[in-house]
C-alpha cells in the first residue's frame, strides 16, 4: 500500500531504490549461510576421516546392507544396465556383478573420506602408476595432455596425482547446483595440488596459449544433453552418444591424448596405467580419438565389470 502523502511516482522511485539494497542484503546472507554450512560440513568430514580405515570399511558394509537389501538404490537401473551390456552372461553372473558393484561402490566412499586426512605417503602405497613417464614425454615436447578416463574403480583417488608428477594438473568438472557441496568438493579434490576447471571454461583455458603445458583430466563417459550423430558409437552392445567436446578440444588445441586404465588390485589398492591414444590429436580423423577412447573404456570395463559406475543412467536418451 502506498504511504499517505506520497505521489505514485515518488513511491515507485523509493521502491526501486530499496530493491537493489534488499537483494544485496539477501545475497550476503545467503553467502554467509553457505560459508557456515561449508565449514560445518568440512569439519564433520575431516573428523570422520580420522577414524581407522577398518572402522570406515565396517560402516561401508553396514551401508551396503541398507543400500542393496533395504533401499535398493537404483537397483533396477543397475541390473538393466549390466544385463544389456553383457547379454552373453547368465542370470547368476549378472547378479554377482551387481552385488559386487554395490560392495565396491560403498567402499569407494569410505576410501574417499579417509583420503581427506590421510598422509601422502600412505596414499602413495595405495596407488600404483604405470607408464607415468608418458606424461613427461608429451609435456617436455611442449604439448598439453588430455588424460581421459571412465568412472572405473575409485576414480576420485586420482586427485592424488599432482603429488606424483611435477606438472600442472586440472580436473575438468561440472559445477554442482549446491554452492556448499561444490565448495566442499573443490576443497577435497585440490588437497594435493589438483586445480578444478569448470567445463564451460576449459576450451578458452586450453586455447589461451599458456607458456606452460599442463595435464587435463576428463571423465568422458557421461551422457551428453545434446546428441550429435557424428558422435554416436557402440558401447557395450548399445548405441551410445558421447560428448564431442573432449575430442574437438584435443584436435583444436593440438594436444596429446592418453587413457587412464584403472583397476582394483585389492581392497583399497589400485593400479592406473597410462595408455597412449594419440601423440598428435590434430592429425586424427573426426571421431577417431573418441572411438579409441571407447575401445579402451570397453576393455577396462570388461576386465573389471563391477568397477564401473552402473548407477549412472547412461542410456536414458
DSSP string, 202-245: HHHHHTT--SS-EEEEEE--SPPSS--GGGEEEETTEEEE--SH
Q: Is the pLDDT of residue 149 over 60?
A: yes
* Higher per-residue confidence, 178 vs 45: 45
Strands (E), 113-227: 127-130, 145-149, 168-173, 195-198, 214-219
**Average pLDDT over the chain, rounded to whole?**
90
> How many alpha carbons lie under 13 Å from residue 217 in its C-beta half-sphere?
27
Q: In whole angstroms, give the CA distance from residue 124 to residue 121.
A: 5
Give the pLDDT confidence score for residue 24 in this predicted structure: 75
Can you give the pTM of this predicted structure?
Answer: 0.88
pLDDT band at 36 (very low <50, low <70, confident <90, very high): confident
pLDDT band at 112 (very low <50, low <70, confident <90, very high): very high
Alpha helices in the chain (DSSP H): 8-49, 53-64, 75-85, 91-114, 120-124, 133-140, 179-189, 202-206, 245-252, 288-303
134-163 mean pLDDT = 94
Q: In whole angstroms, give the CA distance from residue 248 to residue 290.
A: 10
Q: In whole angstroms, give the CA distance from residue 169 to residue 22.
A: 41
Cell 554450512 sits on residue:
37
Q: What is the CA radius of gyration of the chain?
A: 23
Give the model confidence (pLDDT) of 221-230 as tens digits.
988 877 788 8
Q: Is the pLDDT of residue 17 over 60?
A: no
pLDDT band at 2 (very low <50, low <70, confident <90, very high): very low
Q: In whole angstroms, give the CA distance from residue 265 to residue 5.
A: 80
Q: In whole angstroms, give the CA distance from residue 299 to residue 182.
A: 32
Give the pLDDT confidence score for residue 209 in this predicted structure: 67
* C-alpha cell belonging to residue 250: 584435443
What are the Cα distances from residue 206, in Å, to 33, 49, 244, 249, 258? 35, 35, 16, 8, 16
Percent of the chain with pLDDT strictly greater than 70:
92
Give the pLDDT confidence score for residue 27 in this predicted structure: 72
Give the model confidence (pLDDT) of 208-261 as tens digits.
866 789 999 999 998 887 778 889 999 999 999 998 889 999 999 999 999 999
Work out the widest C-alpha separation in the chain, in whole angstroms: 83
Q: Are 126 and 157 in contact (CB under 8 A)?
A: yes
Q: In whole angstroms, give the CA distance from residue 269 to residue 124.
A: 10
Give the pLDDT confidence score for residue 225 in this predicted structure: 79
* Higher per-residue confidence, 55 vs 315: 55
Percent of the chain with pLDDT strictly greater than 90:
71
Q: In whole angstroms, give the CA distance from residue 62 to residue 58.
A: 6
Q: In whole angstroms, give the CA distance from residue 102 to residue 256.
A: 35
Q: Is the pLDDT of residue 7 over 90?
A: no
Q: Are 116 and 191 in contact (CB under 8 A)?
A: yes
Q: Is the pLDDT of residue 199 over 90?
A: no
Q: What SS3 state is found at 40?
A: helix
Q: Is the pLDDT of residue 181 over 90?
A: no
Q: Is the pLDDT of residue 317 over 70?
A: no
C-alpha 17: how far from its chain's center? 44
Q: Angle at the Cα of 288 (from 195 to 155), degrees rounded to 5?
A: 35
Give the pLDDT confidence score for residue 4 in this predicted structure: 53
Amino acid at each position: 500500500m502506498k504511504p499517505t502523502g506520497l505521489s505514485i511516482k515518488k513511491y515507485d522511485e523509493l521502491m526501486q531504490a530499496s530493491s537493489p539494497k534488499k537483494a544485496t542484503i539477501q545475497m550476503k546472507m545467503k553467502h554467509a549461510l553457505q560459508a557456515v554450512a561449508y565449514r560445518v560440513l568440512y569439519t564433520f568430514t575431516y573428523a570422520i576421516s580420522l577414524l581407522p580405515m577398518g572402522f570406515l570399511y565396517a560402516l561401508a558394509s553396514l551401508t551396503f546392507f541398507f543400500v542393496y537389501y533395504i533401499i535398493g538404490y537404483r537397483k533396477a537401473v543397475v541390473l538393466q544396465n549390466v544385463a544389456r551390456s553383457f547379454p552373453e552372461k547368465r542370470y547368476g553372473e549378472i547378479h554377482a556383478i551387481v552385488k559386487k558393484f554395490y560392495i565396491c561402490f560403498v567402499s569407494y566412499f569410505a576410501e574417499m573420506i579417509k583420503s581427506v586426512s590421510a598422509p601422502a605417503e600412505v596414499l602413495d602405497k595405495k596407488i600404483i602408476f604405470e607408464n607415468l613417464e608418458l606424461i613427461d614425454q608429451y609435456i617436455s615436447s611442449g604439448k598439453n595432455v588430455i588424460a581421459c578416463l571412465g568412472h572405473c574403480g575409485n576414480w576420485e583417488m586420482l586427485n592424488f596425482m599432482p603429488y606424483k608428477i611435477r606438472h600442472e594438473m586440472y580436473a575438468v568438472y561440472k559445477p554442482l547446483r549446491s554452492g556448499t557441496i561444490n565448495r566442499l568438493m573443490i576443497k577435497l579434490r585440490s588437497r594435493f595440488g589438483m586445480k578444478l576447471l569448470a567445463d564451460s571454461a576449459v576450451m578458452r583455458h586450453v586455447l589461451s596459449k599458456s607458456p606452460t603445458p599442463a595435464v587435463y583430466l576428463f571423465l568422458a563417459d557421461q551422457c551428453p544433453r545434446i546428441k550429435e550423430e557424428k558422435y554416436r558409437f557402440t558401447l557395450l552392445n548399445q548405441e551410445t552418444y558421447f560428448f564431442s567436446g573432449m575430442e574437438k578440444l584435443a584436435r583444436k588445441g593440438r594436444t596429446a591424448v592418453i587413457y587412464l586404465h584403472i583397476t582394483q588390485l585389492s581392497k583399497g589398492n589400485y593400479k592406473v596405467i597410462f595408455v597412449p591414444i594419440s601423440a598428435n590429436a590434430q592429425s586424427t580423423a573426426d571421431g577417431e580419438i573418441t572411438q579409441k577412447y571407447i575401445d579402451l573404456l570397453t576393455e577396462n570395463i570388461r576386465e573389471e565389470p563391477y568397477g564401473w559406475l552402473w548407477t549412472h543412467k547412461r542410456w536414458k536418451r
